[in-house]
Amino acid sequence: SQKIEQNSEALNIQEGKTATLTCNYTNYSPAYLQWYRQDPGRGPVFLLLIRENEKEKRKERLKVTFDTTLKQSLFHITASQPADSATYLCARSDSNSGYALNFGKGTSLLVTP
């Protein structure tokens, strides 16, 4: 199956800074990439989706980029707040996957005051 790799090391940043999380994929580009937020013991919550032919997507303080040359998506949270602390999951969707999402293992973000 197509792999999704996220940095397993936790990311610690100071409140107000921009957090940048990385998602790398293997082989061919997925039809789109999705980003989810997961709080401990709770179900993932959808945040943003970016299609293969889009370079950037924004939603409030969130921004996602899709670089097919680097086979990478970056997820940015600007003006980060302690409430942004969570695990962020990247998932790829392939047009031939029958709507199955292939999730990365997630990156934990801790925003300290």
Partner 1 sequence: EAQVTQNPRYLITVTGKKLTVTCSQNMNHEYMSWYRQDPGLGLRQIYYSMNVEVTDKGDVPEGYKVSRKEKRNFPLILESPSPNQTSLYFCASSSMSGGTDTQYFGPGTRLTVL
Q: Which of 10, 70, 79, 100 binds partner 1 (CB under 8 A)?
A: 100
Q: What is the CA radius of gyration of the chain?
A: 13
**Closest-CA residue to 76 (of 68, 8, 66, 96):** 66
Which region, judged by CB under 8 A, interacts with partner 1, from 21-29, 60-68, 76-84, 104-112? 104-112
Of 43 and 113, which has the nearer Cβ to partner 1? 43
The residue ranges that bind partner 1 (CB under 8 A) are 1, 32, 34, 41-46, 49, 89, 93, 98-101, 103-106
